[in-house]
Amino acid sequence: MIPFFRNAATASTLCAIVLSSALAPALAQDRRVPTSPTEMKLSYAPIVQRVQPAVVNVYAAKTVQNRNPLLDDPVFRRFFGGQGMQPEQMQRSLGSGVMVDASGLVVTNNHVIEGADQVKVSLADKREFEAEIVLKDSRTDLAVLRIKDGKEKFPTLDFSNSDDLLVGDVVLAIGNPFGVGQTVTHGIVSALARTQVGITDYQFFIQTDAAINPGNSGGALVDMTGKLIGVNTAIFSRSGGSQGIGFAIPANMVRVVVASAKSGGKAVKRPWLGARLQNITPEIAETLGLKTPSGALVVNVTANSPAAKAGLKVSDLVTAIDGQAIEDPNAFEYRFATRPLGGTAQLDAQRSGKPVKLTVALEAAPDTGRDEITLTARSPFQGAKIANISPAVADELRLDSNTEGVVITELTDSATAAGVGFQKGDLIIAVNGTKIGKTSDLDKVTRDGARLWRIVVVRGGQQINVTLGG
């Protein structure tokens, strides 16, 4: 029988005595003097010593020409001559990278080297090498570099299967935060399959509390076997420094990009589904009679696509791929994109409340008729790279595959087109009353030398009418 105490102080004292007596043996077991020199030396050092040589610092630089926009006016140029020109400036960025092939292939973040004229790689032993950009993939924010004049076998990291990770696993982050030099931090896997981060097209990140700061981008996240489980890419921060929420691109996605670079490709080839998927909201889940809002709802299927040939239909609910559960469209896109080309994938779906199994061919999107060109004539489009919309282009830019017209696929910061406000992914529908159906139409219109430009653009599904002076 537990006694009832009227005096709270007496009760607290007695409870403390009882608890102390009960916990004493347990605390004695938890806290003990190390019994051997080996126990005193428990450390992550052996892992760090093994992986550190394969993690590099990446330095990128690009030349920026500061110019007065008034110099575009011939009258202004004639009046002021060469005055008004400003000297070039060198913009520099720093990040980290991981050696993934002994020949000198380095994987890093695309945003670290984007637009760079010069790229250097510094090894852990302080040696520096010039590097060339082999492949850039903005969809994953990954890039692959190759060390120039490398005449040795470089240390590398092996890929781990990032699908085997569990929340709570211990991890190490290695990189070059704030440019102070190679730094190691440790933490755990805080979460998996983060899909609402908004960093890249493929939203499926490893979250960790290992300290990651500016400069860590492109660095390694490794497990306790010393294998690469992810490439650190971003942090959530209100101050600019680490607040214990960092994100890494899973190794299984990194592996796909590196494989494309090794094969000599200039772009990453991924499987193409040919269907548009939608999140399941609580309201949709209730309508479909689902217990939880999970899965990816098919809202569009492109004719003659792998999805169409497999028998996928509008309103099907995709719940798994090759036995792996699908929580939302982002999870599906990641799982599908990391499948190797040439084989098949098994989809589990629900159709009118009944389960169906479908076999989808893993093949790349057709890219015939892209006809990509860079516009050079003096116009608001000068410097923009444009392409006809093929299935591959639509897939890359996340456009509806039924879209017609010409799309801007690339812009440099110095391009006139970027200066007037055009963006990657803009659809150019008409210019000065002329319908733009293919890249040659827009190229021809820009060479007319008009003084006034009336342009119809579609951005994010919204039509915009723009008028610009020549």
Assess whether 284 and 203 both reside in one domain.
no
pLDDT confidence of residue 250: 92
371 is catalytic: no
Assess whether 73 and 141 both reside in one domain.
yes
Assess whether 355 and 420 both reside in one domain.
no
217 is catalytic: yes
pLDDT confidence of residue 290: 84
Residue 46, C-beta contacts closer than 8 angstroms, at least 6 positions apart: none
Q: Say what the pTM is.
A: 0.75
Residue 32 lies inside a defined structural domain of this protein: no
Assess whether 193 and 283 both reside in one domain.
no
Out of 111, 209, 242, 390, pick the active-site residue: 111
Assess whether 141 and 245 both reside in one domain.
yes
pLDDT confidence of residue 211: 82
Assess whether 345 and 400 both reside in one domain.
no
CA 279 → CA 211, 296, 298, 401, 452, distances in Å?
32, 6, 9, 19, 43
User: Looking at residue 354, which CATH number applies to its domain?
Assistant: 2.30.42.10
CA 362 → CA 142, 202, 269, distances in Å?
22, 18, 11
Per the annotation, does 263 bind a ligand? Answer: no
Residue 17 lies inside a defined structural domain of this protein: no
Assess whether 404 and 382 both reside in one domain.
yes
Per the annotation, does 110 bind a ligand? Answer: no
Residue 147, strand partner residues: 131
Residue 143, C-beta contacts closer than 8 angstroms, at least 6 positions apart: 107, 108, 109, 110, 112, 113, 133, 135, 136, 137
Assess whether 405 and 435 both reside in one domain.
yes
Residue 18 lies inside a defined structural domain of this protein: no
Per the annotation, does 186 bind a ligand? Answer: no
> Could you give the angle at which helices 251-262 and 329-337 cross, rounded to 10 degrees?
40
Domain holding 289, by residue range, is: 275-330+341-361
Per the annotation, does 68 bind a ligand? Answer: no
Instruction: Report the relative pairing of strands 385-388 and 373-374 from DSSP bridges.
Output: antiparallel
Q: Whole-angstrom Cα distance, residue 298 to residue 191? A: 27
Residue 22 lies inside a defined structural domain of this protein: no
Residue 23 lies inside a defined structural domain of this protein: no
Out of 141, 223, 395, 426, pick the active-site residue: 141
Count of the separate structural domains present in the chain:
3
Residue 419, strand partner residues: none
186 is catalytic: no
Q: How many CA atoms lie within 13 A of 178 on its CB side?
A: 7
Per the annotation, does 141 bind a ligand? Answer: yes
pLDDT confidence of residue 21: 45
Q: Whole-angstrom Cα distance, residue 409 to residue 394? A: 10
Out of 160, 190, 217, 379, pick the active-site residue: 217
Residue 345 near residue 381 (C-beta atoms within 8 A)? no
pLDDT confidence of residue 173: 92
Assess whether 48 and 119 both reside in one domain.
yes
pLDDT confidence of residue 67: 52
Mean pLDDT by 10 residues, the chain (470 residues): 33 39 47 72 86 92 59 48 51 84 93 87 90 90 90 91 90 85 88 65 79 84 93 70 77 92 84 91 86 89 92 94 90 90 93 92 87 89 90 82 83 82 90 90 87 88 81
Residue 175, strand partner residues: 183
